[in-house]
């Protein structure tokens, strides 16, 4: 065995041991070292670069590493194997998807705005924000020789009396601790109670003087990012909120790679462990530690996630999702409790999963559609969720249709050489001077934060600006020269946003023709999906009344630029609304409102799914959309007009 030391820019070291010939990326995965490998280790994305500090690796040269870089020690992990003790440095760009946990500061109104909005939208749509959880104060007589009722009946009767229930059921954990809690507190207690199927279910019991609440956990399990919040079930108040990278990321950036990984021996358990033990439970632990909430008082959990994430969470065989005829094990299910998944909340908490409606439109979309409230209004709305994939819903209070398009992870920074999530170091907005071609950008993070890469909204801006300044042509090819424009040995052009010396990373922050091409295909997939879906029901773009944009692309998204590059339909800008993580705000609504829970099932059941790959004309439409803004300029009149004005 050889010793492999992973060194981080933070100064942290992680040590692993590996056999001769073991693949370095595999060693990193085994050791829970997150090295970003969106292509799942087949050498195509070039993101898993590490720098050898001491020792040497057996490694292949690839187009992602220049001769100079190779000489400098840079290697791609996925094509490197261990042959001796080695120390490698993992740059921030390679670990941009790392499970960095972030607990939100709830004093910022920004953090809870989307939930308040979702709640007020629900109320406006006639959905009552009610569930039957409550905390009861229960004072019992102490037993005597003449009053020998056993503890469980004593509690059940008292709870029925206080709450007006017909009967009461004690969960096992309540039964187990009951004799001690009653006697230590003189038979004066508080209970967390919910009414289920006509009876009171007692989830927790504590002494009357102890803090006691009824809490719920809402969670959005994205392919890339997991976001969670804890809410007070009675008041709806959000008491904690946190997010982190999905621990499964090291097994592939997209759902297909995850499913393939889960099919290997032990794979289902491994993927489940990555999302539960390494992601969800630590989030819960952090939130509970911060708020001093007892885990046993988190009594309901609502999950919004795509179909594959739902299946991997439950630990099931998800292979049928990707194999014709693409059948999930479940859309909705009432079979799962927290204890089944070893999620560290009340073991009897029901896990409500926002319903999937197909293999490629999941609970994140039904929850998001719920939150957007488009199902409640007569106007025709388009809901666009830009996650690791792109999903669309179009309709109104009379009908809803949805489709998924293989936009890939570009909107979250995947498939882009300097792409990253919308976290510290990401360029989130950019303008370029048409004359000097010098960029001006804003970087997420504290003042002085140097740029590390580009997040989705930043990429949109850069491409829109490069096009506006005629630095690239409609096909994304560089057509001007300058100090920031380079061509490599293969002739591939790129534009440097920040040279290495100004960057917070180990290399230039740039955007290449390959990146632009990837992004054009991604935005083309979105726009062609919109157009195809509308055409399939004899609508056209001008008939869209509202557009709701959701997802991890970031609140910094410049809608005008997104229209300019031909990603979003060319309708008046005031029609666009960015609604943030609608998957989480939908989960929040479902968690707290029994009516919303019914409604999301209704929304899911009534949503027609359009399979684009078998829809006539989609491929033509897609090809036509892979230009800036589109081969059919008539679809983007405002862009054409602006361009004409610029030329005047």
Which residue ranges make up the site for its own copies (CB under 8 A)? 143-145, 147-153, 169-172, 174-176, 178-180, 183, 197, 314-317, 319-320, 324-331, 333-337, 339-340, 356, 358
84 vs 142 by CB, closer to its own copies: 142
Closest distance to its own copies from the beta carbon of 331 (Å): 5
Comparing CB distances to its own copies, the nearer of 316 and 573 is 316
- Min. distance of Cβ 151 from its own copies in angstroms? 5
Q: Provide, rounded to whole angstroms, the least separation between the CB of residue 348 and its own copies.
A: 10
Give burial (CB, 10 Å; 0-12/13-18/19+) of 310. buried
Q: Shortest approach of its own copies to residue 337 CB, angstroms?
A: 7
What are the strands of the beta sheet with 546-551, ordered from one edge?
Answer: 576-580, 546-551, 381-386, 390-395, 400-405, 607-609
Query: For residue 327, with 0-12 CB atoms within 10 Å meaning exposed, 13-18 middle and 19 or more buried, which class applies?
Result: exposed
Q: Closest approach of Cβ 388 to its own copies, in Å?
A: 22
> Looking at beta carbons only, is 149 or 619 nearer to its own copies?
149
CB 300 within 8 A of CB 353: no
Four-residue CA torsion sign, 590, 602, 202, 350: negative
Beta carbon of residue 324, minimum distance to its own copies (angstroms, whole number): 7
The separation between CA 605 and the C-alpha centre of its own chain, rounded to angstroms, equals 23
Question: How would you class 421 by CB atoms within 10 Å of its CB: exposed for 0-12, middle for 13-18, buried for 19 or more?
Answer: buried
The two three-digit tokens of residue 73, written as one number? 């020690």
- Shortest approach of its own copies to residue 279 CB, angstroms? 20
Q: What are the backbone dihedrals phi and psi of residue 200, each rounded to the nearest 5 degrees, phi first?
A: -80, 130
Handedness of CA 243, 248, 251, 256 (dihedral sign): negative
Query: In terms of CB distance, is 272 or 585 closer to its own copies?
Result: 272
Q: How far is the CB of 176 from its own copies (least distance, A)?
A: 6
| Residue in the structure block whose two tokens are 């491409």 | 463
Helix (H) or strand (E) holding 201: strand 199-207
C-alpha dist (Å) from residue 100 to 96, 229, 435: 9, 16, 40
In DSSP notation, 274-307 reads HHIIIIIHHHHHHHHHHHT--GGGEEEEEEEE-H
Nearer to its own copies, 149 or 479 (CB): 149
- The contacts of residue 161 (CB under 8 Å, 6+ apart) are none
Q: How far is CA 43 from CA 29, 251, 510, 535, in A?
A: 16, 14, 20, 39
3-state secondary structure of 66: coil
Separation of alpha carbons 392 and 369, rounded Å: 9
Least distance between its own copies and beta carbon 359 (Å): 8
Q: Name the residue nearer to its own copies (CB basis): 147 or 501.
A: 147
Q: In what order do the strands lie in the sheet with 426-432?
A: 439-443, 426-432, 453-454
User: Three-state DSSP class for 382?
Assistant: strand
For residue 613, the minimal CB distance to its own copies (Å) is 11
Task: State whether residue 61 is helix, strand or coil.
Answer: coil
Tally of CA atoms within 13 A in the half-sphere of 526 that contains its CB: 29
Find how far residue 623's CA is from the centre of its chain: 28
Beta carbon nearer to its own copies, 263 or 577: 263
* Mode of pairing for the β-strands spanning 168-170 and 298-305: unpaired
Shorter beta-carbon distance to its own copies: residue 256 or 541: 256
Between CA 409 and CA 254 the distance in angstroms is 7
Report in angstroms how near the CB of residue 363 gets to its own copies at its nearest.
12
If the CB atoms of residues 24 and 345 are measured against its own copies, the closer one turns out to be: 345
| Closer residue to its own copies, CB minimum distance, 175 or 256 | 175
Of 80 and 262, nearer to its own copies (C-beta) is 262
The residue among 87 and 611 lying less far from its own copies, judged by its C-beta, is 611
Output the 3-class SS for 471-532: CECCCCCECCCCCCEEECCCCCEEEEEECHHHCCCCCCEEEEHHHHHHHHHHHHHHHHHHHH
Query: With respect to its own copies, which residue has the nearer C-beta, 10 or 614?
Result: 614
Of 156 and 298, which CB lies nearer to its own copies in the complex structure? 156
CB of 322 to its own copies, least distance (A): 12
- Nearest distance in Å: CB 472, its own copies: 40
What is the closest distance, in whole angstroms, from the C-beta atom of residue 139 to its own copies in the complex? 17
Rounded to the nearest whole angstrom, what is the least distance from the CB of residue 538 to its own copies in the complex?
23
Cis-peptide, bond into residue 7, ω within 30° of zero:
no
Instruction: Mark 129-148 as b/e (b = at least 16 C-beta within 10 Å).
Output: bebebbbbebebeeeeeeee
Q: Which is nearer to its own copies, 276 or 463 (CB)?
A: 276
Whole-angstrom distance, CA of residue 51 vs CA of residue 73: 5
């Amino acid at each position: 065995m050889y010793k492999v030391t992973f060194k981080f820019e933070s100064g942290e070291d992680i040590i692993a041991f590996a056999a001769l010939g073991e693949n370095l990326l595999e060693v990193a995965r085994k050791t829970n070292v997150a090295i970003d490998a969106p292509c799942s280790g087949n050498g195509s994305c070039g993101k898993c670069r590490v720098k050898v500090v001491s020792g040497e690796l057996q490694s292949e040269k690839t187009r992602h590493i220049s001769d100079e870089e190779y000489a400098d020690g840079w290697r791609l992990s996925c094509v490197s194997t261990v042959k001796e003790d080695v120390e490698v440095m993992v740059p921030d760009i390679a670990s941009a998807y790392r499970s960095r946990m972030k607990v939100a500061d709830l004093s910022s109104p920004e953090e809870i705005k989307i939930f308040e909005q979702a709640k007020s939208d629900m109320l406006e749509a006639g959905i009552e924000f009610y569930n039957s959880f409550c905390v009861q104060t229960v004072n019992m007589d102490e037993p005597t020789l003449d009053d020998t009722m056993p503890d469980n009946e004593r509690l059940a009767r008292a709870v029925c009396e206080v709450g007006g229930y017909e009967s009461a059921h004690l969960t096992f954990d309540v039964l187990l601790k009951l004799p001690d809690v009653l006697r230590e507190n003189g038979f004066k207690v508080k209970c967390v109670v919910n009414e289920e199927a006509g009876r009171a279910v007692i989830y927790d019991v504590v002494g009357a003087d102890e803090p006691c609440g009824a809490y719920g956990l809402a969670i959005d399990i994205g392919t890339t990012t997991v976001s969670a919040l804890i809410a007070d079930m009675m008041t709806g108040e959000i008491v904690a909120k946190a997010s982190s990278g999905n621990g499964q990321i090291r097994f592939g950036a997209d759902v297909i790679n995850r499913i393939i990984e889960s099919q290997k021996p032990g794979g289902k358990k491994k993927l489940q462990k990555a999302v539960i033990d390494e992601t969800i439970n630590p989030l819960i632990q952090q939130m509970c530690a911060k708020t001093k909430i007892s885990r046993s008082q988190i009594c309901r959990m609502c999950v919004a996630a795509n179909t594959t994430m739902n299946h991997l969470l439950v630990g099931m065989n998800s292979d049928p999702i990707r194999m014709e005829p693409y059948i999930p094990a479940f859309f909705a299910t009432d079979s799962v409790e927290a204890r089944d998944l070893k999620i560290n909340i009340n073991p009897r908490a029901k896990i409500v999963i926002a319903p999937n409606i197909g293999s490629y439109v999941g609970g994140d979309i039904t929850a998001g559609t719920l939150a957007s409230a488009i199902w409640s209004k007569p106007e025709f709305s388009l809901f666009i969720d830009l996650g690791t994939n792109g999903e669309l819903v179009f309709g109104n209070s009379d009908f809803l249709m949805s489709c998924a398009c293989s936009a890939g992870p570009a909107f979250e920074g995947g498939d882009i050489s300097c792409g990253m999530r919308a976290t510290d170091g990401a360029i989130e907005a950019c303008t370029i001077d048409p004359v000097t071609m010098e960029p001006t950008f804003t970087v997420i993070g504290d003042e002085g934060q140097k740029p590390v890469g580009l997040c989705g909204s930043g990429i949109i801006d850069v491409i829109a600006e490069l096009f506006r300044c005629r630095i690239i042509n409609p096909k994304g090819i560089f057509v001007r020269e300058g100090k920031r424009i380079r061509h490599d040995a293969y002739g591939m052009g790129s534009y440097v946003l920040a040279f290495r010396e100004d960057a917070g990373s180990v290399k230039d922050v740039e955007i290449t023709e390959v990146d632009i091409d990837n992004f054009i295909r991604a935005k083309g997939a979105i726009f062609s999906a919109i157009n195809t879906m509308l055409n399939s029901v004899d609508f056209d773009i001008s008939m869209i009344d509202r557009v709701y944009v959701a997802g991890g692309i970031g609140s910094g998204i410049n809608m005008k630029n997104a229209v300019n590059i031909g990603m979003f339909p060319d309708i008046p800008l005031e029609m666009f609304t960015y609604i943030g993580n609608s998957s989480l705000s939908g989960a929040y609504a479902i968690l707290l409102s029994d009516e919303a829970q019914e409604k999301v099932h209704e929304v899911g059941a009534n949503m027609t799914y359009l399979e684009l790959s078998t829809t006539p004309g989609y491929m033509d439409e897609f090809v036509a959309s892979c230009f800036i803004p589109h081969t059919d300029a008539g679809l983007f009149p405002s862009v054409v007009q602006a361009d004409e004005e610029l030329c005047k």
